[in-house]
Amino acid sequence: MQETLAADGVKPAKKTGPRVSLRRTTSGILVHLIIITAAVLIGFPFFYMLSTSLKTVQEVYTIPMVILPAAPQWRNFVEVWNLLPFGRFTFNSVVYTVSITFGEFMMGLMAGYAFARLRFPKKDLIFFLVLLTFLIPGEITLIPRFIMLKQLNWINTYPGLIVPELSSAFATFLLREHFQSLPDELFDAAKIDGAGYFRQLMQIALPLSKPIVSTLLLLAFVAHWNAYMWPLVVTNSQSMRTLPIGVQSLRDVFEFPEWQYIMAGATIVVMPLVALFLIAQKQFIEGAVQGALKG
């Protein structure tokens, strides 16, 4: 994609005469300067996080500031990992994120398929009911949900963290649209072969949906990995905290903030996402664009 775009941009320059191309060169340099400045500013917090996480305490508290540590202190990561139960936080984050991402996806997959390809009286009305939940922000359901969890004795438990978050209107909506676009003939052939609806879904519809499925899974994974308010409200003991919440306790551990440890903690939280983003940047960016341009 990148090459074709760059080639596209080059084309007009070729058509124009030498005088204009000089002007184009200066404006081209200007554009590059703007972009490089913006990228440096936007990327700076990441650099700052990493470089601080590798400093010694002395380097953190030196004035004037030390930009890069003299020798990277990798053991900050080991120390911070043992300072708080980071293994437990990570385990909780993985359980929370993976089960919601997968559960939400299965719900959306089945419901999306049913709404797209199965007949049922008034099914558009039912779909509308599902769609309406888009309009209900999590902030307004928070308190009643908390009261329900309290009555169920589900506060500070995995079911309490996970079950209320499992349903998804978004996945249902996107997958329904996608399944509607698949040609009928594919399914007719399978019906004649006697395939049940679930098998039609898993063996015909799903393999034809890889791009949208990977986008959905990635977006859901990031959203739940980053979730803060919900796990904060539902959990109350350190052993049940997820990473984004657990890492906050690093601020209470020291008398003065030892930024090298706090930044190492922040790096631990963010790193899996950065890795995922570098591997699947195309899906992330296209997912964002699709979601916005469709709306």
Whether 209 contacts 178, CB under 8 Å: yes
Find the length of the chain: 295
Residue 147 makes contact with other proteins by CB under 8 A: yes
DSSP state of 66: P
Residue 20 makes contact with other proteins by CB under 8 A: no
Which C-beta is closer to other proteins: that of 77 or that of 225? 225
Q: How is residue 99 written in tokens? A: 């089960």
Residue 139 makes contact with other proteins by CB under 8 A: yes
Interface residues for other proteins in 197-216 (CB under 8 A)?
Answer: 197-198
Stretch that binds other proteins, among 75-83, 84-92, 181-189, 250-258 (CB under 8 A): 250-258
Report the candidate in 225, 221, 211, 212 with the shortest Cα–Cα distance to residue 269: 225
Residue 240 makes contact with other proteins by CB under 8 A: no
Contact map string, positions 78 to 117, toward other proteins, x by CB under 8 A: ----------------------------xxx-xx-xxx--
Report the candidate in 223, 212, 226 with the shortest Cα–Cα distance to residue 283: 212
Stretch that binds other proteins, among 74-82, 84-92, 124-132, 178-186 (CB under 8 A): 124-132
Q: How is residue 77 written in tokens? A: 């990561």
From 20, 21, 22, 32, residue interacting with other proteins (rule: CB under 8 A) = 32
From 20, 48, 78, 180, residue interacting with other proteins (rule: CB under 8 A) = 48
In the chain, alpha helices (H) = 2-15, 18-53, 57-60, 75-83, 86-117, 123-132, 138-151, 158-162, 169-180, 184-192, 197-200, 210-225, 229-234, 243-246, 250-253, 259-279, 281-294
Stretch that binds other proteins, among 77-85, 178-186, 206-214, 279-287 (CB under 8 A): 279-287
Residue 122 makes contact with other proteins by CB under 8 A: no
